[in-house]
């Protein structure tokens, strides 16, 4: 008998949690005493793996970009393009749900984790920037100060690239640890169906069937932002910079976008994306480089959803985000979208990192996990479309000079 996929198992766990929560609405003590603790164990495991996951995945991502120096202007311009579109993506993901506060249906999340969440002090912008840089290497790890951990990873990753052959041993150790951490994450994510059931059931007990309306709101928010980002940012880029009619671009990309939606993998979609961009006039050399680079570091859909989920879940917890918390979410989401592991559940672990950076209870990850598979299909389409738009733009900017 064929084993059910992880995403199918999580979907079943979501449905069972809704049913169990409705049936056990008068048994809140039983649920909180015997079911919720199992979910907390799953959350503790997620918290445990977040720091090494972020640390090693970002360093490995920097090491994988070492070949950019070989292609000069193409690599630098493609990287700049990805950074700019990601910035637009995370901004959109933060602004839209913030404007709709008080309108969307939300669920009430009352959890002890809220009291244990990392507090984000009310600091000035300059204080916030200063606090991004650690004064020692151990404290950020023990306190899960994610912004400082990201800075540490950036320094070590860049240094390993610059020292060249002398850093070969450090490079091998980093890549090896990155693989080991990825395998541990797979172990933890195998428990995700149980964790989702045990964390979501108490939420349904507190909110009843209203939780379904909240899920629909989160889903609609994410896909609305996906459509706006593609229709404004990508369409403007290919039209103004790439000199291609946006309608022609999206029509030409349809085969790759449909495959991305169904396969849920931008890497698996790569051959289709290359074929589509070649028909749009992109040379093989530029297409292969830009699309391969984009499949690794360009995850606009992830950046959008991390922003949307952060604001939405903060609202569910009754947290009024400050400007410094918005900055923390924006920065962490941008870096997390670059370092997203290419394994099932990787985005959930990075969501825990983003939540922690802004003082949002990590428990909310289990709530968001229920519809992560449906949203991930849209995220993959965004990644593939963004990579293709960059290839089209790079063909016009540097194609004739190569």
Percent of the chain with pLDDT over 90: 12
pLDDT for residue 113 is more than 50: no
Cα–Cα dist 123/95, whole Å? 21
* Length of the chain measured in residues: 402
Q: Where are the alpha helices (DSSP H) in 300-371?
A: 300-316, 323-338, 346-358, 364-368
Model confidence pLDDT, tens digit, residues 359-394? 787 777 777 776 776 787 788 889 899 999 999 998
Percent of the chain with pLDDT over 70: 80
- Dihedral angle sign, alpha carbons of residues 251, 252, 255, 261: negative
pTM of the model: 0.68
Task: List CB contacts of 48: < 8 A, sequence separation 6 or more.
Answer: none
Instruction: Tokens for 359, please give them.
Output: 């003082």
The arithmetic mean of pLDDT across residues 229-243, rounded, is 93
Average pLDDT, rounded, for the chain: 78
The arithmetic mean of pLDDT across residues 128-157, rounded, is 79
The arithmetic mean of pLDDT across residues 83-90, rounded, is 89
Q: What is the pLDDT of residue 230?
A: 94
Among residues 242, 302, 301, 305, the alpha carbon closest in space to that of 277 is found at 242
The arithmetic mean of pLDDT across residues 144-169, rounded, is 82
Model confidence pLDDT, tens digit, residues 294-315? 776 778 888 898 888 888 888 8
Q: How confident is the model at residue 65 (pLDDT cuts 50, 70, 90)?
A: low
Angstrom distances, CA of residue 71 to CA of 63, 74, 104, 394:
16, 6, 47, 12
Q: Distance between terminal CA atoms of the chain?
A: 53
Among residues 197, 186, 203, 179, the alpha carbon closest in space to that of 46 is found at 186
pLDDT for residue 69 is more than 60: no
Q: What is the pLDDT of residue 114?
A: 40
Q: What is the pLDDT of residue 208?
A: 65
Q: Where is pLDDT greater, at 122 or 164?
A: 164
Domains belonging to the chain, first-starting first, are: 6-401 (1.10.3860)
Q: How confident is the model at residue 249 (pLDDT cuts 50, 70, 90)?
A: very high
Cα angle 170, 171, 175 (rounded to 5 degrees) comes to 115
* Collapsed DSSP state (helix, strand, coil) of residue 41: helix
Model confidence pLDDT, tens digit, residues 21-34? 888 888 888 888 88
Q: Where is pLDDT greater, at 338 or 287?
A: 287
Cα–Cα dist 228/16, whole Å? 34
- Dihedral angle sign, alpha carbons of residues 7, 9, 10, 14: positive
Q: What is the pLDDT of residue 118?
A: 39
Instruction: Tokens for 88, please give them.
Output: 């637009």
Angstrom distances, CA of residue 391 to CA of 74, 79, 197, 212, 286:
10, 11, 42, 40, 7
pLDDT for residue 67 is more than 60: no
What is the gyration radius of the CA atoms in the chain, in angstroms? Answer: 21
Cα–Cα dist 366/45, whole Å? 12
Angstrom distances, CA of residue 367 to CA of 43, 328, 387:
11, 21, 30
Q: What is the pLDDT of residue 73?
A: 66
Q: What is the pLDDT of residue 344?
A: 47
Q: What is the pLDDT of residue 335?
A: 72
Instruction: Tokens for 250, please give them.
Output: 């999206």
Q: What is the pLDDT of residue 123?
A: 46
Q: Look-up: residue for tokens 């506060």?
A: 101
Q: What is the pLDDT of residue 383?
A: 87
Cα–Cα dist 309/221, whole Å? 9
Q: Which has the minimum average pLDDT: 67-76, 85-94, 256-265?
A: 67-76
DSSP element (H, E) containing 193: helix 192-207
Model confidence pLDDT, tens digit, residues 191-228? 878 887 887 788 778 766 666 677 788 888 899 999 99
DSSP 8-state symbol, 108:
-
Cα–Cα dist 159/205, whole Å? 51
Q: What is the pLDDT of residue 176?
A: 93
pLDDT for residue 110 is more than 60: no
Top-confidence range, 106-120, 208-222, 250-264, 355-369:
250-264
pLDDT for residue 229 is more than 90: yes
Among residues 44, 79, 135, the alpha carbon closest in space to that of 365 is found at 44
Write 43-48 long-range contacts (CB < 8 A, 24+): 43/113, 43/195, 43/199, 43/362, 43/363, 43/365, 43/366, 45/188, 45/191, 46/188, 46/348, 46/349, 46/352, 46/362, 46/365, 47/144, 47/352, 47/356, 47/362
The arithmetic mean of pLDDT across residues 37-66, rounded, is 77
């Amino acid at each position: 008998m064929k084993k059910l996929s992880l995403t199918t198992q999580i979907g079943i766990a979501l449905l069972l949690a809704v049913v169990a929560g409705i049936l056990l609405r008068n048994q809140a003590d039983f649920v909180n005493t015997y079911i919720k603790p199992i979910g907390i164990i799953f959350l503790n495991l997620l918290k445990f793996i977040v720091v090494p996951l972020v640390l090693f995945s970002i360093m490995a991502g920097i090491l994988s970009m070492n070949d950019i120096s070989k292609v000069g202007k193409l690599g630098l311009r493609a990287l700049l393009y990805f950074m700019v579109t990601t910035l637009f993506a995370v901004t959109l993901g933060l602004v839209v749900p913030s404007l709709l506060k008080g309108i969307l249906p939300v669920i009430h999340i009352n959890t002890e984790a809220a009291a244990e969440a990392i507090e984000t002090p009310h600091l000035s912008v300059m204080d916030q920037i200063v606090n991004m840089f650690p004064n020692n290497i151990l404290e950020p790890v023990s306190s899960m100060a994610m912004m400082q951990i990201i800075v540490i990873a950036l320094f070590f990753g860049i240094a390993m690239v610059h020292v060249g052959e002398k850093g070969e041993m450090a490079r091998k150790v980093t890549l090896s640890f990155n693989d080991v951490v990825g395998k541990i994450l797979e172990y933890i994510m195998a428990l995700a169906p149980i964790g989702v059931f045990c964390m979501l059931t108490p939420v349904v007990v507190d909110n009843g069937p209203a939780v379904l309306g909240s899920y629909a709101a989160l889903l609609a928010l994410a896909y609305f932002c996906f459509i706006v980002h593609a229709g404004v940012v990508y369409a403007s880029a290919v039209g103004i910079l790439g000199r291609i009619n946006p309608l022609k671009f999206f029509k030409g990309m349809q085969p790759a976008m449909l495959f991305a939606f169904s396969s849920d993998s931008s890497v698996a979609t790569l051959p289709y994306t290359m074929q589509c961009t070649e028909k749009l006039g992109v040379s093989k050399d530029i297409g292969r480089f830009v699309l391969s680079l984009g499949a690794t570091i360009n995850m606009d859909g992830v950046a959008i959803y991390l922003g949307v989920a952060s604001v939405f879940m903060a609202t569910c917890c009754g947290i009024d985000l400050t400007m410094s918390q918005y900055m923390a979410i924006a920065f962490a989401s941008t870096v997390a979208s670059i370092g997203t592991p290419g394994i099932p559940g990787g985005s959930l672990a990075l969501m825990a990192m983003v939540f922690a950076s802004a003082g949002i209870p990590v428990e909310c990850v289990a709530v968001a996990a229920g519809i992560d598979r449906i949203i991930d299909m849209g995220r993959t389409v965004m990644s593939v479309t963004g990579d293709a738009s960059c290839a089209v733009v790079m063909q016009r900017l540097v194609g004739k000079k190569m």
